[in-house]
Amino acid sequence: MVHWAFEISNALIQHFSGHALWTIFGINNRLLFSIGNAAFFSFIEIFLAKTPAFVWVYPWWGSIPVFIAVYIPFFVTSMYSYDWEPKTAKRFIGLLFLINVVMLTVFAGILKWI
């Protein structure tokens, strides 16, 4: 019976403080899951790169640059965007659209790389 009292009091303290709900080992859970998911998919990509169907054209482009430049920004944005106000989300989507337009103009229109 004493054990239950400690469990219930601990649950109430953690619930009302929000500590247990939002952190894992003291790290924000969204950030931790973002980094964990990015690492997992980078790990999977290492095995995919060993197949003949998956080719990295540049020698410097490997799992670590993909982890840092692609997966971390994607997962951090996807985890944190859930809490954004609709106005902020619309701005971010507009910014992504603008970046795509600029990149297509530069790389397809000017440099003729695409």
DSSP per-residue codes, 50-102: TSTT---SSTT-SHHHHIIIIIHHHHHHHHHGGGS-HHHHHHHHHHHHHHHHH
> 17 falls in which pLDDT band (50, 70, 90)?
low
| 64 pLDDT above the threshold of 70 | yes
Average pLDDT over residues 70-86: 91
| 82 pLDDT above the threshold of 70 | yes
pLDDT (0 to 100) of residue 19 = 61
Q: Where are the domains of the chain?
A: 2-83, 85-114
User: How do residues 28-59 score in pLDDT, each as one tens digit?
Assistant: 888 999 999 999 999 998 888 888 888 777 88
| 7 pLDDT above the threshold of 80 | no
% of the chain at pLDDT higher than 90: 47
The mean pLDDT of the chain is 86
Helix (H, G, I), strand (E, B), or coil: what is residue 23? Answer: strand
* Residue 31, CB-side half-sphere exposure with 13 Å CA sphere: 7
